[in-house]
């Protein structure tokens, strides 16, 4: 096991887990932040599933003025953020509420940032590049994968460059995360599967990277345990409240972990797949994860044995070295059981973009903290193995 390195830890966000929170708690949390005009950011899937209905009744009854911005796509782009920003400006919103998966939450964070800083989103790319604290945000995740409701960053696609940029800063952290497992019942199985594997990727990458610390290890371990216990049940029946709660908590814990110590090669490689081919983020990570885990096995100091055990493998009598491949095998078995495809060909990903995608992946800060040293040729080989 790795020795403990210096670290700094801070995570000031109110997190509420309650079945029915969207209906019963949202208005109170808005009022607690002294807001009476809000922009509600979501996407067409959430809207059409009727997930906003109860919340809208509660908002009306609570005397909150609101508008709905639902024009958010997967791998959301800068133009969506600007359109939402315009709407928020027009209504003089004092708070942004996101109800959705990672995409609406990331767009909500970008709109909150634009509301107080204006200007060009691309100029805020990187850590702490903006001047003023964003508007307050409340996030209600409708998938259990992204963890974006608890991270101080937003990932937005710049289509002109086919590039997913990350904007981060301590003030980007949402004010409140409302975790409501009762709204997960209509989630399609493949969304449950791919977003759940994204959460597993967050947990495994933050647990095994070079700057993991005892806090994030604790979050990561519990997230992996919950995902091993509940993801299959959740994909089988998203309305199973116990499984939905387990996955929602796992996703949040993994989000806290990677929000503190970031990720690794898998996420560095997943972002260009979204930028070039619009592969949904969860799908990209799900398919890449076993490949990057195999690559990183050489750097393992015993954490792979823990992962294997947490995912149900009996490796107790094995050495760390003997047990490590079972962690990869457990992830592969889980992926197969829940219907994740084995390669990216199904998503139109072609070999000719590997050189450019690999260069973009190498720009990610996640490469430098990946447990095994990684060069451009390594990334190219990993892409070739997954396409």
Query: Which is nearer to Fe ion, 143 or 309 (by Cβ)?
Result: 143
> Which residues inside 234-263 make contact with Fe ion, applying CB under 5 A?
none
Query: Which is nearer to Fe ion, 201 or 309 (by Cβ)?
Result: 201
DSSP symbol at 77 = B
| Partner residues linked to 199 by β-bridges | none
Whole-angstrom CA distances from 269 to 211, 288, 337 are: 19, 8, 24
Q: Which residue is nearest to Fe ion (CB)?
A: 198
Rounded to the nearest whole angstrom, what is the least distance from the CB of residue 382 to Fe ion in the complex? 17
Instruction: Please identify, among the stretches 11-19, 120-128, 196-204, 295-303, the one whose residues bind Fe ion according to the rule CB under 5 A.
Output: 196-204
Rounded to the nearest whole angstrom, what is the least distance from the CB of residue 153 to Fe ion in the complex? 11
Three-class secondary structure of residue 178 per DSSP: strand
Residue in the structure block whose two tokens are 């393992």? 300
Instruction: Please identify, among the stretches 31-39, 93-101, 197-205, 206-214, the one whose residues bind Fe ion according to the rule CB under 5 A.
Output: 197-205
**Rounded CA separation 208/297 (Å):** 10
Rounded to the nearest whole angstrom, what is the least distance from the CB of residue 9 to Fe ion in the complex? 21
Q: With CA atoms as reference, report the closest residue to 79 among 104, 107, 98.
A: 107
Rounded to the nearest whole angstrom, what is the least distance from the CB of residue 198 to Fe ion in the complex? 4
**Rounded CA separation 209/37 (Å):** 42
> Which residues inside 333-362 make contact with Fe ion, applying CB under 5 A?
none
Burial group, residue 324, by CB count within 10 angstroms (0-12, 13-18, 19+) = buried
Residue in the structure block whose two tokens are 């959301």? 76
Instruction: Please identify, among the stretches 198-206, 215-223, 228-236, 316-324, the one whose residues bind Fe ion according to the rule CB under 5 A.
Output: 198-206
Query: Which is nearer to Fe ion, 198 or 380 (by Cβ)?
Result: 198
By CB under 5 A, tell whether 205 contacts Fe ion: no
Query: Which is nearer to Fe ion, 198 or 300 (by Cβ)?
Result: 198
DSSP symbol at 67 = E
Whole-angstrom CA distances from 271 to 66, 114, 157, 255 are: 33, 23, 9, 17
For the chain, strand residue ranges (E) read 14-17, 37-41, 65-69, 95-100, 126-127, 137-141, 153-158, 163-168, 176-179
Query: Which is nearer to Fe ion, 136 or 147 (by Cβ)?
Result: 147
Rounded to the nearest whole angstrom, what is the least distance from the CB of residue 276 to Fe ion in the complex? 17
Instruction: Please identify, among the stretches 169-177, 194-202, 215-223, 354-362, the one whose residues bind Fe ion according to the rule CB under 5 A.
Output: 194-202
Query: Which is nearer to Fe ion, 88 or 98 (by Cβ)?
Result: 98
For 108-191, strand residue ranges (E) read 126-127, 137-141, 153-158, 163-168, 176-179
Among 29, 198, 205, 313, binds Fe ion (CB under 5 A): 198
**Residues in binding contact with Fe ion, number by CB under 5 A:** 1
Rounded to the nearest whole angstrom, what is the least distance from the CB of residue 139 to Fe ion in the complex? 15
Rounded to the nearest whole angstrom, what is the least distance from the CB of residue 133 to Fe ion in the complex? 25
Instruction: Please identify, among the stretches 31-39, 121-129, 192-200, 363-371, the one whose residues bind Fe ion according to the rule CB under 5 A.
Output: 192-200
Rounded to the nearest whole angstrom, what is the least distance from the CB of residue 353 to Fe ion in the complex? 20
Query: Which is nearer to Fe ion, 276 or 326 (by Cβ)?
Result: 276
Rounded to the nearest whole angstrom, what is the least distance from the CB of residue 28 to Fe ion in the complex? 30
| Partner residues linked to 77 by β-bridges | 157
Whole-angstrom CA distances from 212 to 6, 224, 250, 302, 303 are: 10, 15, 17, 14, 11
Q: Are 11 and 259 in contact (CB under 8 A)?
A: yes
Give me the residues that bind Fe ion (CB under 5 A), please.
198
């Amino acid at each position: 096991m790795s020795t403990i390195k210096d670290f700094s830890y801070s995570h000031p966000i109110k997190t509420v887990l309650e079945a029915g929170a969207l209906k019963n708690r949202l208005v109170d949390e808005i009022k607690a932040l002294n807001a009476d005009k809000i922009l509600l950011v979501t996407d067409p899937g959430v809207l059409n599933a009727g997930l906003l209905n109860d919340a809208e009744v509660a908002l009306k009854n609570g005397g909150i003025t609101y508008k709905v911005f639902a024009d958010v796509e997967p791998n959301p782009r800068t133009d969506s953020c600007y359109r939402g920003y315009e709407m928020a400006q027009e209504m003089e919103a004092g708070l942004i509420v996101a109800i959705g998966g990672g995409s609406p939450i990331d767009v909500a964070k970008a709109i909150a940032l634009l509301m107080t800083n204006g200007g060009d989103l691309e100029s805020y790319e990187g850590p702490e590049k903006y001047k003023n604290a964003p508007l307050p945000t409340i996030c209600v995740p409708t998938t259990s994968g992204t963890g974006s409701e608890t991270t101080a960053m937003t990932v937005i696609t710049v289509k002109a460059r086919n590039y997913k940029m990350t904007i981060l800063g301590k003030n980007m952290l949402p004010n409140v995360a409302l975790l409501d497992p009762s709204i997960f019942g209509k989630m399609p199985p493949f969304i449950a599967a791919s977003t759940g594997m994204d959460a597993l990727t967050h947990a495994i990458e933050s647990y095994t990277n070079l700057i993991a610390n005892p806090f994030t290890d604790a979050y990561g371990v519990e997230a992996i345990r919950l995902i091993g216990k509940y993801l299959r049940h959740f994909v089988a029946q998203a309305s199973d409240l116990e499984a939905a709660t387990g996955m929602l908590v796992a996703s949040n814990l993994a989000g806290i972990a990677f929000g503190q110590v970031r990720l690794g090669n898998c996420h560095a490689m997943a972002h260009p797949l979204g930028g070039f081919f619009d592969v949904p983020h969860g799908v990209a990570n799900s398919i890449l994860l076993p490949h990057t885990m195999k690559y990183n096995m050489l750097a393992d100091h015993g954490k792979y044995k823990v992962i294997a055990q947490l995912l149900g493998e009996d490796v107790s009598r094995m050495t760390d070295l003997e047990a490590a491949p079972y962690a990869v095998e457990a992830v592969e078995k889980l992926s197969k059981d829940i219907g994740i495809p084995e390669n990216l060909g199904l998503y139109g990903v072609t070999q000719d973009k590997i050189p450019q995608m690999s260069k973009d992946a190498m720009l990610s800060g996640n490469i430098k903290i990946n447990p095994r040293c990684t060069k451009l040729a390594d990334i190219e080989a990993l892409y070739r193995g997954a396409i």
